[in-house]
Structure 1
Amino acid sequence: MHDTLILEPAQPASASVIWLHGLGADRFDFQPVAEALQGVLPGVRFVLPQAPTRPVTLNGGWSMPSWYDIIALQPERAIDMAQLEESAGQVLTLIEAQRASGIPAARIFLAGFSQGGAVVLHTAFRRWAGELGGVLALSTYAPTFSADQQLGAIQQRHPVLCLHGRDDEVVPHALGRRAYDWLAARGVDVAWRDYPMGHEVVNEELRDIALWLAERLAD
């Protein structure tokens, strides 16, 4: 994970946010967001990993930073599950590195935009068995949530904030809402926010994220 961007806070870190970018972006994409959040959340380290560059079938086979290959959109997104599992494994490694640095698991948050959000939802609710501070799911969906899947008591305690644009032309609003509904039906402490935006991030959303993180870090 040598290409991970780590933004240290001005004071010793007491919490960490591991934040995954979207398809075709890079680890610097959310650097301005992380730096802005550090201005109001002292003591939070931001860990921004880089997706590997590989061909993406949906985009004509062009190579770009991608957490997994997207093979088709309809009727449901068909993805390369082995690559998704590989990316989730990278997130698990980052969680363990933060724990080794002295950050308790209960103060480690996973965040992801679009494809990155799909990875963190999969990691938090299908791969990671321990505590987490919470999950931020931005403009994303949950390709591996299934109707027959149940959650353990620890996973049910992961707080989640789902944020989505009502005019999202890349990941339809309905897909984001479906992930929220799935979590709510299984007793997860999940909140939903949507905004008059497309596949992007807006200031109102960032304010909601800052408030949500501050509430959980105050516990």
Structure 2
Amino acid sequence: MPSKLNQLIQNDTLPLLHRLRPAQGGTKNSPCLILLHGVGANEAGLMDIAARQDPDLTVILARGPLSFGPNQFGWFQVSFTANGPVINPAQAEQARRTLLDFIAALPAAHGIDPDRIWLAGFSQGGIMSASVGLTEPKAIRGFGLWSGRILPEIAALMADPDALKMQHAFVSHGVHDSKLPIALGRNSHSLLSAHKVQTVYREYPADHEFTPAMQADFTAWLAAQMKHADSDANA
């Protein structure tokens, strides 16, 4: 089945524009990885990462709902201040709900397996992945938080402890991150550990970026996730 990564898809049953790389055997009942871009970027910037994923995966690149300029999109407005990032919480919550609707509609729209969906993203995309994974852990199998943070605004919405113990997370952060300092990555790790989320946490000698080393570690984590999911399905 040919890749559709060069094609922007608009589907009336899905609330977000997106690109799709089908699994090698087609999308019917395939596992799925959804990738989310950072603020001021767009989904096309993740095409190379999508192309390198396991051929058994359907990979979907979702576009943020807010436009900040030509080919610049995001999930919520944010200002970087001396006291740290300040977000528009209403937009972040609307984006979280939109992503949940998007995920719920994917199996019918693209034929993927609803029990084998992972969500990951860079910076603001990673923030949204964590927001979904921690508030509605049954919606996805696990999430990747790349150079992002966990919003304190979701604290009251987080799932119960028993549900969170079943969730999986991969967290990567650059020690020299000049946009979202390493302290935010370490805070995320501490919060996930406190809630007993099954987490792989990695630090790298990097700035605010998703380096080849980070990509390799995430790919290995996801491969293990897929293997466990297949074992569960065959049990």
TM bucket (normalised to shorter chain) is: 0.7 to 0.9
User: Does 1:77 pair with 2:65?
Assistant: no
- CA distance in 1 between counterparts of 2:158 and 2:97 reads 20
Quick one: which amino acid aligns to residue 52 of structure 1? Answer: P
Match of 1:52 among 55, 65, 71: 65
- Which of 194, 206, 210 is residue 203 of structure 2 equivalent to? 194
1:150-198: CA deviations, max 9, x gaps?
6342232111010011111111111011011101011110111111111
Question: In the alignment, is residue 7 of structure 1 matched against residue 28 of structure 2?
Answer: no
- Aligned match of 1:16 in 27, 32, 37? 32
RMSD value, Cα:
2.4
CA distance in 2, matches of 1:98, 1:147: 27
Give me the whole-angstrom Cα distance separating, in 1, the residues matched to 2:47 and 2:182: 25
Q: Secondary structure at the match of 1:48?
A: strand
98-107 vs 203-212, which deviates more?
Answer: 98-107
Larger strand proportion, structure 1 or 2? 2
Cα distance in 1, alignment partners of residues 39 and 139 from structure 2:
28
Aligned-pair CA distance for 1:88: 1.0
Q: Is the 8 A contact 1:68 1:83 kept in 2?
A: yes
Aligned: 1:115 with 2:124:
yes
State the distance in 2 between where 1:117 and 1:5 align. Answer: 18
Q: 5+ unaligned residues in a row in structure 1: which ranges?
A: 57-61
Q: Any conservation in 2 of the 1:114–1:141 contact (CA below 8 Å)?
A: yes
Equivalent of 2:160 in 151, 154, 157: 151
Find the partner of 2:112 among 100, 103, 119. Answer: 103
Tell me the CA shift for residue 200 of structure 1.
1.0
Partners of 2:98 and 2:189 lie apart in 1 by 24
Residue 34 (str. 1) matches residue 50 (str. 2)? yes
SS class of match (2:138):
coil
Say yes or no: does 1:172 pair with 2:181.
Answer: yes
The answer to whether the 8 A contact 2:43-2:62 is kept is: yes
**For residues 121-174 of structure 1, what are the alpha-carbon distances to aligned partners after superposition, in whole Å with 9 as ceiling and x for unaligned?**
111112x25252211100000113549966342232111010011111111111
Residue 104 of structure 1: how far off its partner (Å): 3.6
Q: CA deviation at 1:7?
A: 1.3
For structure 2, list consecutive stretches of 5 or more residues without a partner in the other structure.
Answer: 1-8, 11-16, 229-235
